[in-house]
Amino acid sequence: MKKFNSTNKKTISLFWHHATAYKRFLIPLIIFVPVTVIVMSFVQPYIMALVLQKISQKSYDAHNLWGSFGPYIIVYGIATFMSGVAGWRLNVWLIWNLELQMTRDLAKRTFDHLMNMSAGFHANRFAGSLVSQANKLTGAYIRIADATVFNLYTLFVAMIATIVILAPRVPLYAVTLITLSVIYIIGTVHFSKPVRDANTIEAQAQSDQTGYLADSITNVTAVKSFAAADYEKRRYWQVLSHTRNTGLASMRATMIRETYSSMITSTIGVSALVIAILGAGVFKANIATLFLIVSYTAQIGERLWEFQNVLRQFNRGLGDASDMVEILQIKPDIKDPEHPEPVKIIRGSIAVESMNFTHSENTEALFKSLSLRIKAGEKVGLVGRSGSGKTTLTKLMLRFSDIDSGKILIDGQDITKITQDDLRSHITYVPQEPMLFHRSLAENISYGASEVSRQEIEAIAKMAHAHEFIEKLPQGYETLVGERGVKLSGGQRQRVAIARAMIKNAPILLLDEATSALDSESEELIQDALWKLMEGRTAIVIAHRLSTVQKMDRILVMDEGKIVEEGSHKELIRAGGTYADLWNRQSGGFLDE
């Protein structure tokens, strides 16, 4: 409960903080809404009450109706125009503009935050759930803003106006109205707690449902290849059933609250009628006062009934927003220094000094006092069985995770002293699984390059041997590759990824199994291009296919986070150690796992 209340406060604070950035919409809205409510809901009935009073007392000239009622008609017409045509249209315009600005800012803040979070954060969450939670945050603001402005705020204004107008005339009515309204509000808030809790659980279930759907669709090839469609359907049905059950729980809690609300609003209506009768029979109240009692009570009763809708929208909005609001409170694992140094990376020498590192999900350290030096321009191959630490080492150089102790220096500069963007802009990284956007091939190849011409893109694509298949596509370089490049083969995706690496002019190149999806003929062609790419650059190449690293200046053999051997291919073969054993055990040029 404390956690939930804390999250609620953070949500309201977040929304209010962003709203106050647009005072040109917020302040007029605060002023014009009560003016519109008073003119529409109180001035108009008041004029009608005066007309009824005049008629009941026969204090008008039957031969000159315009002279008797003309001013009332004019004022009533002006009030109607001001409230209905001008007032509410202006209020809608103001809140619409405010909401458009706010949802844009909230979406940007969420996107920026998610982009700043570490790879570990994203690895532990469904991408589909994050998308759902981000969309729910902006939707929650619209729910809460509309409910606050058009329901809660107008109820407050209506209550004050009713008491100010009728308390001097019928004190008993004012006391009764206040008492019953307070009882109504307190009781409705009390019965809304179970609704709020149920809505939070339902929102989480809906996020999980979205995440499961996205996960299954993203991996639909695996589902089909394992003939697991029926299994996935059964699991998704369980997820859907759980979401349905949480919805039923929300419905039951809501029905209980609405039953209570209906009882109190009915009591208010009956009380108003009784007081009106007493006013006429006992207190000799005039017809105008009786009309105002009935009219204003209807107004208050309607707005009190809407109060539960306010709570429903608040509960739903706060429930929808809670997940992303909590995520926005999470500090990134990897932080830039408060006062970053100017980047000094030029040649690309790398030094690892007494480095210790433990994966967050493990208790035992992978690297223990690891030290390593790579000269500027040196070409180094990393080999070893899976889990030996090859990929982790390259990701630490990119600061995808921070080391426990020790240092990683590039050109003598500690990588934790510069911004992550400065570091990564000086390193070209090609992972084992190419990361492509659902954008055109031209955009994917030129990604990260600020200004590059189509001619340069095509020239680089030719070097990566991607041009051959691209030009055969109906839309050529404008072809959309699908989510994660699903419309391309594995080899085509890696050629596009290699072309993107070639177009980035960085002094350090990290290749993690960059040719693993290529056939032997394609690999031979791309090897030539990669050697051209590596010229004048420091290169670290991870490979299970040892033929990929034969020509490297130095090969490092890793095992359980340690460098167990190093040297050239020939030196390591002559040594007859681990590398030679791996070479002899290869099948088709790959390491035997």
Stated pTM of the model: 0.71
* Distance between start and end Cα atoms, the chain: 51
pLDDT in tens, 379-417: 999 998 888 899 899 999 999 889 999 999 999 999 999
pLDDT in tens, 405-457: 999 999 999 999 999 989 998 998 888 777 788 888 898 888 877 678 888 88
Q: Is residue 371 part of a domain?
A: no
Q: Where are the beta strands (DSSP E) in 420-542?
A: 427-430, 508-512, 538-542
**pLDDT tier at 589, thresholds 50, 70, 90:** very low
**Per-residue pLDDT, 587:** 45
- Angstrom distances, CA of residue 542 to CA of 15, 388, 584: 47, 11, 19
Residues in the chain: 593
**Per-residue pLDDT, 279:** 58
Task: Report d(CA 170, CA 186) in Å as an integer.
Answer: 25
**pLDDT tier at 1, thresholds 50, 70, 90:** very low
Instruction: Please provide residue 382's backbone torsions phi and psi, each rounded to the nearest 5 degrees.
Output: -115, 125
Contact of 408 with 351, CB cutoff 8 Å: yes
Tokens describing residue 532: 């051209």
Do the bridges between strand 350-357 and strand 427-430 make them parallel or antiparallel, or are there none, so unpaired? Answer: unpaired
Q: Is residue 110 part of a domain?
A: yes
Contact of 340 with 396, CB cutoff 8 Å: no
**Per-residue pLDDT, 276:** 63
Residue 306 CB: number of other CB atoms within 10 A?
19
Do the bridges between strand 413-414 and strand 405-410 make them parallel or antiparallel, or are there none, so unpaired? Answer: antiparallel
Higher pLDDT, 131 or 515: 131
| Average of per-residue pLDDT values in the chain | 83
**Per-residue pLDDT, 522:** 64
Q: Is residue 368 part of a domain?
A: no
pLDDT in tens, 58-108: 776 666 767 777 787 787 777 777 766 666 788 888 999 999 999 999 999
**pLDDT tier at 588, thresholds 50, 70, 90:** very low
Tokens describing residue 219: 């991996």
Q: Is residue 572 part of a domain?
A: no
pLDDT in tens, 204-245: 888 788 888 888 887 888 888 888 888 899 999 999 999 999
- HSE value, Cβ hemisphere, 13 Å, CA-based, for 411: 17
The answer, yes or no, to whether residue 322 has pLDDT greater than 70, is yes
pLDDT in tens, 150-193: 888 888 888 888 888 878 877 877 788 788 778 877 887 777 77
Beta bridge partners of 427: 508
Q: Is residue 336 part of a domain?
A: no
CATH number at residue 189: 1.20.1560.10
Three-state SS across 511-549?
EECCCCCCCHHHHHHHHHHHHHHHCCCEEEEECCCHHHH
Could you tell me if residue 61 is left (phi over 0), alpha (psi between -120 and 50 degrees) or otherwise beta?
beta
**Per-residue pLDDT, 63:** 65
**Per-residue pLDDT, 158:** 84
Domain count, the chain: 1
**What H or E segment, with its residue span, contains residue 174?**
helix 171-218
Domain that holds residue 301: 2-329
**Per-residue pLDDT, 416:** 94
**Per-residue pLDDT, 592:** 44
**What H or E segment, with its residue span, contains residue 380?**
strand 379-383
Mean pLDDT of 455-482: 87
pLDDT in tens, 500-542: 888 887 899 998 877 665 666 666 666 776 777 788 889 999 9
The answer, yes or no, to whether residue 281 has pLDDT greater than 60, is no
**Per-residue pLDDT, 404:** 92
pLDDT in tens, 554-571: 999 999 899 999 999 999
Q: Is residue 97 part of a domain?
A: yes
Question: Environment class of residue 62 by beta-carbon count within 10 Å: exposed (0-12), middle (13-18) or buried (19+)?
Answer: exposed
pLDDT in tens, 333-383: 888 898 999 999 999 999 999 999 998 777 889 999 999 999 999 999 999
Between the CA atoms of 188, 193, 196 and 198, what dihedral angle is there, to the nearest 10 degrees?
A: -120
Could you tell me if residue 348 is left (phi over 0), alpha (psi between -120 and 50 degrees) or otherwise beta?
left
**% of the chain residues with pLDDT over 70:** 90
Q: Is residue 448 part of a domain?
A: no
**What H or E segment, with its residue span, contains residue 108?**
helix 88-116
Q: Is residue 208 part of a domain?
A: yes
Instruction: Please provide residue 158's backbone torsions phi and psi, each rounded to the nearest 5 degrees.
Output: -65, -40
**Per-residue pLDDT, 593:** 44
Nearest in space to 46 (alpha carbons), one of 85, 2, 76, 21 = 76
3-state secondary structure of 58: coil
Tokens describing residue 457: 């893109």
